[in-house]
């Protein structure tokens, strides 16, 4: 009986670990080329950098990396970095194409829209 309890506990723990990070539906993921796309910035770009505090991330690879990729592929975004430990996204973007609200909406829409919340957002450089 004790051995059965240990096995059941191990199965439950394994299941929780494997499902803690939601994966994006493969239908919604854009196909990626073997070479990275180089972002070409408009010479009239109005570059700004913003910080977004994000709640709801449970892992670095599945959660933080997915959010980072979604932000990085937005039109006008030069660079996006998500610090899992600090719960912070730093995004350099063209203010003519994106704004704090669009960045926030992108983060909160990842994984079906009910997992991540932007609790604070601010422009740190203009």
Q: What is the pLDDT of residue 110?
A: 95
Task: Specify whether the CB–CB gap between 120 and 87 falls below 8 A.
Answer: no
The model's pLDDT over 81-117, given as tens digits with 9 standing for 90+, comes to: 999 999 999 999 999 999 999 999 999 999 999 999 9
Radius of gyration of the chain (CA): 18
pLDDT of amino acid 21? 54
Domain extent listing, the chain: 44-126
- Residue 97 is encoded by which pair of tokens? 């194409």
pLDDT tens column, 3-54: 766 676 656 655 544 445 554 443 344 444 333 444 556 788 999 999 999 9
pLDDT at site 125: 78
What does the pLDDT read at residue 55?
97
Residue whose token pair is 């499902």: 19
| pLDDT attached to residue 118 | 97
CATH architecture of the domain covering 44-126: 2-Layer Sandwich (3.30)
């Amino acid at each position: 009986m004790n051995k059965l309890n240990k096995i059941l506990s191990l199965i439950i723990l394994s299941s929780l670990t494997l499902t803690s990070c939601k994966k994006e539906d493969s239908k919604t993921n854009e196909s990626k080329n073997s070479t990275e796309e180089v972002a070409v910035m408009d010479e009239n770009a109005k570059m700004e950098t913003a910080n977004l505090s994000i709640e709801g991330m449970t892992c670095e690879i599945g959660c933080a990396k997915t959010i980072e990729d979604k932000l990085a592929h937005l039109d006008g975004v030069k660079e996006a970095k998500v610090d899992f430990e600090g719960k912070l996204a730093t995004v350099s973007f063209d203010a003519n194409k994106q704004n704090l609200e669009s960045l926030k909406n992108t983060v909160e829409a990842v994984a079906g829209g009910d997992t991540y919340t932007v609790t604070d957002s601010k422009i740190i450089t203009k």
